[in-house]
Structure 1
Amino acid sequence: MDWTLVLILLLMGTGGGFAAGFLGVGGGMVLVPFVTMIFAARGFPPAIVVHMAIATSLATILFTSLSSVRAHHLHGAVRWPIVLLIAPGIVVGSWIGPYFAKQLDTSLLALVFGLFVAFSATQMILNRKPSPSRELPGPAGMFAAGATIGTVSGLVGAGGGFLSVPFMSWCNVKMHNAVATSAAIGFPIALSGTLSNIYHGWNEQGLPAHSLGYIYVPALLVIAAASVTMAPVGARAAHRMPVAKLKRIFAMVLYCLSAYMLWKAASSAGLLNA
């Protein structure tokens, strides 16, 4: 890689790491649109460019989630019993998600990503008040929730925060606890999803050099180096910010990312050139 690309990836890792700590999203979802742009500009095969961006971004969460969750844990904000209940479903779903992604072409995968992110942003910005009596479900319900979050996260390359934070908030988990707990959930999502992306992309034709399945290793290493430094900074900022403002920022970031990926879906399908 040339030094200009390294600098760009470092800047992306800085932003993704901050988002991981600040929003509990693992950073992967924030990175996917930018990584897609870079991979497309470098001439990666159009048929798999979004697949590789999603897989590489998801793999960075292996590093950012550990850095982020440590910072949140020091604030006493991680609800570890929730993590233990939801993790089995998360692992199963995160393995399945990349398999589904492999079946979709680039335009459809980008469309799925954009729509899910827009849905999540809308749920946050509507700020519907949950029933005061609503609580987290039992073990079976938590497994089902984890499997759903894990599948969608593995499909779109996210740490799960864009679903797990609204889910926990809906069940009356305080916003700061939901963000912190989501950061902890990001690691099993990333681990299972990364192994799945390596497995399902292993025999893919046309992958660029230095790829491990669908993961582009040089980009992963550079982004991770920057993101692990910034994740604790984002976590500290989150604990100093009012809940309402945190929700609005979360939603606005998601809408911007959704808009780009929907544009990518339209352009990949040739709709913008029609």
Structure 2
Amino acid sequence: MSANVASMPKLTNLPFYEERVDLAAAFRWTARLNMHEAVANHFSLAVNDEGTRFLMNPNQVHFSLIKASSLLLLDANDPKTMDQPDAPDPTAWGLHGSIHRHLPHARCVMHVHSIYATVLASLADSRLLPIDQNCATFFNRYAIDDSYGGLAFEDEGERCARLLKNPKHKVLIMGNHGVLVLGKDVADAFNRMYYFERAAETYIKALQTGQKLRVLSDDVAEKVAQEIEDYPGQCERHLADLKILLEQQEPDYLN
């Protein structure tokens, strides 16, 4: 947390307040980037060691309105979750509940239908070739789902969770659907989601030129991806600065 946030009086006694602030900031900035989808799409953050208890946005609330207190605290193993009066969106429960139930390494999960990632997911060949540094960041670090079966209710969510068992795969390119990004925390997941959309935009626009692509070798692409993974502090600084801007411009996200 930035010094400004840390010094502010907490307006609630909600559990996991700092985690809520980080996640609320991610929602607000995703809306600013126009990577949201009206009142759909969802982010979640595990808050216990097993990864089964998690925070997630409430059912059908615009990302730009999310506050720290808005977030639901859910248990992936609670069969009565969808019977509660404040139940989450059923597709959010199906997708995020399944991932948090089965993948303890998936601490933060972000799912969007951002334009360029979704265009990539709509191509018959949805690979992201390493044509620049951002694209190379994801070399051998994503899985492709080519078996879209409809809205992400629980069966579809379980199937998607199985595609992410390899801890090296931090991105799921969801064929005919969108993208899902994993991270060790909110900063890690948000930074990855941001750069994946940037990479997809570069790649799609390069394809639109109709010219032959300058594709990096596997060795260089892997070297770049590893160097980015080892680069210190970028994702934390990225989120911290966004939170400073939000404190100045939209401080109600802290409530």
* TM-score by shorter chain over 0.5: no
Structure possessing the higher relative contact order (Cα contacts under 8 Å, 6 or more residues apart)? 1
More helix by share: 1
TM-score by length of 1: 0.27
TM-score by length of 2: 0.29
